[in-house]
Structure 1
Amino acid sequence: MLTIAGRTFQNRLILGTGKYKDFATMKACYEAGSVEMVTLAVRRFDLSAKGDDNILNWIPKGMALLPNTAGCYTREDALRVCRLAREALETDWVKLEVIGDPLSLYPDGEETLRAAEILVKEGFVVLPYINADPILAKKLCEAGCAAVMPLGSAIGSGLGVQNPYVIQILRDVVGGFGLPLIVDAGVGTASDAAVAMELGADAVLMNTAVAEAADPVKMARAMDFAVKAGRLAFEAGRMPRRLYASASSPVGGVVGKG
């Protein structure tokens, strides 16, 4: 089970709310993936929408909602959006994103850290989105964040985990504080999600990989299986890598020639 800030989840797959062709497809993906938490870009949420035009009416009751600060480029913008989310959505949980570059969409680590420190003091449950940076991760843990969410690769790239060794280091750093590590961004297909989990991630958050799949509902189901399989493989412990072959059949007791 995945535990974040005292709340327990059975499923380690987290999905977003963007890029789906319609809300009905989005909801079907949540059901196919058995997800229990979704993230919502507050700046793209229409507070005045009614009925079926309101995205909240398509998110199953009881599902954890994680507002995010997507589209924010300064700590001031991110803080304002978080406070708005608290009032509008009645939750202290936030996925903190402060983007540093409009082309690569890589996060600004310094601004993210400063914003996180303020939000924690204001009582928010902060899940920061960062580059795969162990030093920044350590500082965010020390600041009181509830989890750390490093990217596997650039947002929407579908390139998978580009530096698996750093993810393993991050797992040790964040795990040392007793906090979850959630790989966020870059997953393109089920095998990418499985790799992230095999490296020791506690969960995987994705959006584009499902929403832009030829069949989003089938992909959501595949991601559910992949995350579960990857976690089982991590817990089982993989065999050591060897340069040379190692016979799968024992050599002891082999019947000799004549």
Structure 2
Amino acid sequence: MISSNMNVTFENLSDITDDLVIGDQVFTSRLMLGTGKYRNLGVAKQSIECSQTSIITVAIRRLQSSSNFQPNNLLNMLDWKSIWLLPNTAGCTTAEDAIKIATLGHEICKKMGQEYNSFVKLEVIPDSKYLLPDPIGTLKAAEYLISKNYTVLPYIYPDPMLAKQLEELGCATVMPLGSPIGSGQGLQNLENIQIIIENASVPVVVDAGIGTASDAVKAMEIGASAVLVNSAIAQAKFPQLMAKAINLGVHAGRYAYLAERMKKLSRAMPSSPSIGFPN
């Protein structure tokens, strides 16, 4: 079903508006980007521009030293009037640590001129081998941060019950992983992600594991509200080109989802009418 907040004018597809709404913010792009693993700052900046993203996520632990606010830092190279900063708690192993880092993230948003930005991508990951998020720690941190009026976007294993619990707590999104962080394996948990999407009344963002544009297409085709991508772009041979490709993939998948695909048939059906042809 076409979303109620979508203004569709099929006379000119370029006029379609289909904004992403998270909390009290409206975004024109459904592609979120991470900022790690790029070869250099120039490539990172160019890739971000090619992606046409509206949201950039940054690990706050990397920005704790004052040197991170020097002119050659990526944060100082971007236009924060057109891009929303999403601080994340990557590297936190406990709920308490994540809460502290989220507070620092809000202060960094203020430094970037986004005084009222209370967004946080919540990651609690004690598992250093497989980098799987801790569901109990995530719930604990989310409950506290929501009580302090943060807009919480939790990164989770694709567990439909956990996703619903976080939504009921008041999380602005749920962000199930497609496959392990940085693996590029694509959507290895497709069935669970579909269940989460079907049961959610908040945006579902597929985060982690996307390796190329077709993975982004598939995530959007099954009804994900957005995807978050880092390694697939940063570690491509030509990151700027991959950023463009994934941007197009997000659009293609979203339009296909809204168009509502044809039903699969068990046998072939002619595409041309057979009526009126001589025997």
2:142 alignment partner, one of 107, 112, 116: 116
Matched, 1:155 2:181: yes
**Residues of 2 paired with 1:55 and 1:192: CA distance?**
27
The corresponding residue for 1:80 is: 100
Matches of residues 233-248 of structure 1 in structure 2 within 5 Å? 233-248=256-271
Please list the CA deviations of residues 20-56 of structure 1 after superposition, one character each: whole Å capped at 9, or x if unmatched.
Answer: 1111111111110111110000011244124333231
Task: Let me know the Cα RMSD of the aligned residues.
Answer: 1.3
Given candidates 130, 152, 157, the residue that maps to 1:126 is 152
1:188 paired to 2:188: no
Alignment length, in residue pairs? 253
Q: Which amino acid in 1 is paired with 2:190?
A: P
For the 8 Å contact 1:183–1:205, the answer to whether it is kept is yes
* Cα displacement string for residues 31-88 of structure 1 (whole angstroms, at most 9, x for unaligned residues): 1011111000001124412433323112223110000000111111111111121223
Greater CA deviation, 84-93 or 182-191?
Answer: 84-93
Instruction: Read off the aligned partner of 1:71 and give its amino acid letter.
Output: G
Which AA in structure 2 matches 1:26? A
**1:52 alignment partner in structure 2:** 71
Q: What is the aligned partner in structure 1 of residue 114 from structure 2?
A: none
Of the three residues 11, 15, 38, the one matched with 2:56 is: 38
Identity %, equivalent residues: 48
Taking structure 1 as the reference length, the TM-score comes to: 0.94
Structure-2 separation of matches of 1:45 and 1:21 = 18
The correspondence for 2:245, drawn from 198, 207, 222, is 222
**Which string of whole-angstrom CA distances, capped at 9 and with x for unpartnered residues, describes residues 191-212 of structure 1?**
0000000010010001000000
Please, what TM-score do these two structures have when normalized by structure 2? 0.87
> Residue 14 of structure 1 contacts residue 36 of structure 1 at CA under 8 Å; is this kept in 2?
yes
Structure 1: stretches of 5+ with no match in the other structure:
none
Matches of 1:47 and 1:4 in 2, distance apart?
A: 30
Matched, 1:93 2:124: no
- In the alignment, which residue of structure 2 is the partner of 1:25? 43
The gaps in structure 2 that reach 5 residues or longer are: 1-18, 111-116
Contact 1:27/1:60, CA 8 A, preserved across alignment: no
| Structure 2 letter corresponding to 1:65 | L
Stretch of structure 1 that moved more, 164-173 or 36-45:
164-173
SS class of match (1:79): helix
**In 1, are the aligned partners of 2:45 and 2:74 still within 8 Å (CA)?**
no
Distance in 1 of aligned mates of 2:25 and 2:127: 33
3-state DSSP of counterpart to 1:129: strand
Conservation of the 8 A alpha-carbon contact between 1:24 and 1:58: no
Structure 1 residues 211 and 35: alpha-carbon distance in aligned structure 2, compared to 1, 3 A threshold? same
